[in-house]
Every structure is written in C-alpha cells, then in structure tokens.
Amino acid sequence: MLTRFDFNPRFDTFFRDLDQLWKTPQTEGERALFPAADVRDTDTAVELRVDLPGVNPEAIDVKLEGRLLTIRAERTEEKTSDNKGWVRRERATGHFLRSFTLDDTLDGSKLAATYKHGVLTLSVPRREETQPRTLKVKVEA
C-alpha cells in the first residue's frame, strides 16, 4: 500500500534554522558561512566545486597540509555611508572554513585552482601509478 507524503515546507526551514542555531557561531552583523560543495571523482582526478558568490578572489585561501585540503574565504559587506532604505538584507557576510581529506591515490603537488563566476574549482590529479591503464593485445591469426 502506498501512502501519499504531504511535505510541509515550514519543517524544512525549521530544521535548517535549528542546524544554524547549533552549528553556526553568530556575531553581530556577521556569521559563519557554509557554502555548497560538489565533489566529482574520475579516473584521472578528483574535482571539487565550491560556491563562493560575492567573495573577492584575494580573500580565498587554499592550503594543502599532508592529505588535508583546507579552503578558507571571507565575504565582506560593501561599506556604504547610507544605511537608509534597506527593506531586507539576506546576503550574509562572514567567513568559512571547509576541509577535505585526500586519499593516497591523489597527487596534491599538482593541485590546480580556478575561480570563475563565483565558483571555486579545485582539481587534484590521481598519481600516475594509480590511474587505470589500457593494454593493447596483439592478436595473431
């Protein structure tokens, strides 16, 4: 027997707000950000894409220490002398830190990073000895 699930969208925001309350240290006018990250695994590399809209490229710091890849960034508020007229301000400012542990098959010394249209893309190639190889078999008739 199938039962129809009636999703109440208020629960989604309720749980998200609870997560923010417990996970995010908040200070006045600033909060820790948690941007979305996609990880794509291929035969030759692992690619990470992290959403960082509105972040100045100079405010992005990528470090690799051992197998720990750490991304730090900060989005600051545009300084204006006129604070009048704002009806709603939802674009958060603040800092964030995300870390990923690389496995032994990846070569961190060849890490490549690009930042385009608010997305930070990191590519970590696989070590040559761990990449799949294809052998041609010579068939004699």
Q: What pLDDT, on a 0 to 100 scale, did the predictor assign at position 135?
A: 74
Q: What pLDDT, on a 0 to 100 scale, did the predictor assign at position 90?
A: 76
Is 14 domain-assigned?
Answer: no
* pLDDT-based confidence at residue 87 (cuts at 50, 70, 90): confident
- Residue % of the chain over a pLDDT of 90: 31
- Output the DSSP codes for the chain: --------HHHHHHHHHHHHHHH--EETTEE-----EEEEE-SSEEEEEEE-TT--GGG-EEEEETTEEEEEEEE-PPP-S--TT-S------EEEEEEEEPPTTB-GGG-EEEEETTEEEEEEEBPGGGS----PPP---
Is 138 domain-assigned?
Answer: no
pLDDT at 102 over 70: yes
Work out how many domains the chain is built from and give that number.
1
Q: What pLDDT, on a 0 to 100 scale, did the predictor assign at position 114?
A: 96
Is 101 domain-assigned?
Answer: yes
Q: Residue 112 belongs to what domain range?
A: 31-77+93-130
pTM score over 0.85 = no
Residue 58: give its domain's CATH number.
Answer: 2.60.40.790
Mean pLDDT of 69-93: 79
Q: How confident is the model over 16-70, as pLDDT tens digits?
A: 555 555 554 444 444 556 788 999 998 889 999 999 988 999 999 999 998 899 9
